[in-house]
Structure 1
Amino acid sequence: MKFPRRRRDPVEVNLTPLIDVVFLLLIFFMVSTTFETRQALELELPESAAGTALEASPVTLVVTERGRYRLGERELGAAELGEALSAEADQARLHGLVVEADARAVHADVVRALDQAGALGVRQVRIATRETQATSTQAETP
């Protein structure tokens, strides 16, 4: 007896659900990842031997060597500094203001930032520094 052969449908792998899952995972990781933007800013803080470590302030103003300012995520020029600081003035009065000025920054740019903070009533201002490097060439006594 001869049986008729059934025709088999060609086997296909449906990749659409796999692609959907991959895109959903990609979107999830992009949204849930926090990006550290402060690492991109190359800032060389001046050294200080008498500095003490303090907790971070929620209001940090960065002065770059080119005379630009960064407050939070915003990069500002000298003209926009007063308006941006006034938006953060309540937090700065409550917790203080940390000024992170590059060691190569012009002194006038730092003073301009301090003047703006003083005009807004911010009285607790700290200037960020880094520890001095211990010299290894000190004479040892036997």
Structure 2
Amino acid sequence: MRMRRHSLQQEEETGIDLTPMLDVVFIMLIFFIVTSTFMREAGVEVQRPQADTASAQDAGNIFIAVTADGQIWIDKQAVDARSVRAHVERLRVDQPDGAVVVQADEDARTGLVVQVMDQARLAGVRDVALAATAGGR
């Protein structure tokens, strides 16, 4: 009988303990979630104009979309042109050195696009870019 207990105990000890490996996997998962950055989208798709001199830029942190019918979208919300500055200031709290990318529809009014860019600059943003699609017509 004593031999039998000994053989069962040996079989149980030969198994692999996965607890430390699972701990490492969960720690890595938490690390990647905490360090990842999430892109904020404007909330509406626009038909950007094409430009031969368009070049790829690093992704901006704040996207502002201006539609053909004069709507302004920031962070998936339609906003008024007068409140663009306040929204940009609120979004800059997370990343003070962030850039603003204005995604204007090719049929959007130029005056409205300039007003949006001006409001972003008044909010303290140094880098305001206008999005375009590379390639000619």
Q: 1: CA distance between counterparts of 2:114 and 2:75?
A: 19
Structure 1 residue 64 and structure 2 residue 63: aligned? Answer: no
Match of 2:89 in 1: 86
Asked if the contact 2:102/2:128 (under 8 Å) is kept, the reply is yes
2:119 corresponds to which residue? Answer: 116
- For structure 1, the residue ranges without an aligned partner over 5 or more in a row are 1-37, 135-142
Q: Secondary structure at the match of 1:94?
A: coil
Q: Percent identity?
A: 24
Match of 2:4 in 1: none
Structural mapping, 1:1-142, within 5 Å: 41-90=44-93, 93-133=96-136
CA gap of 1:124–1:42, structure 2 versus 1, over 3 A, is: closer
What RMSD, in angstroms, separates the aligned Cα atoms of the two structures? 2.1
Secondary structure, counterpart of 1:105 in structure 2: coil
1:94-133 deviation line (CA, Å, top 9, x unaligned): 1211110000000111111111111111111111100224
Instruction: Describe the shift of the 1:92–1:112 C-alpha distance in structure 2 as closer, same or farther (beyond 3 A).
Output: farther
Equivalent position amino acid for 1:77 in 2: D
* Number of aligned positions between the proteins: 96
Deviation of 1:93 after TM superposition, in Å, equals: 4.5
Question: TM-score w.r.t. structure 1 length?
Answer: 0.59
Residue deviations 1:18-63, cap 9 Å, x none?
A: xxxxxxxxxxxxxxxxxxxx7x834110111111112322211111
Q: Which has the larger radius of gyration?
A: 1
**TM-score when normalising by structure 2:** 0.61
Distance 2:71 2:120 in 1: 16
8 Å CA contact retained: 2:51, 2:136: no
Unaligned runs of 5+ in 2: 1-40
More helix by share: 2
Structure 1 92/51 Cα, relative in aligned 2: closer, same or farther at 3 Å? Answer: farther
Which deviates further from its counterpart, 51-60 or 87-96? Answer: 87-96
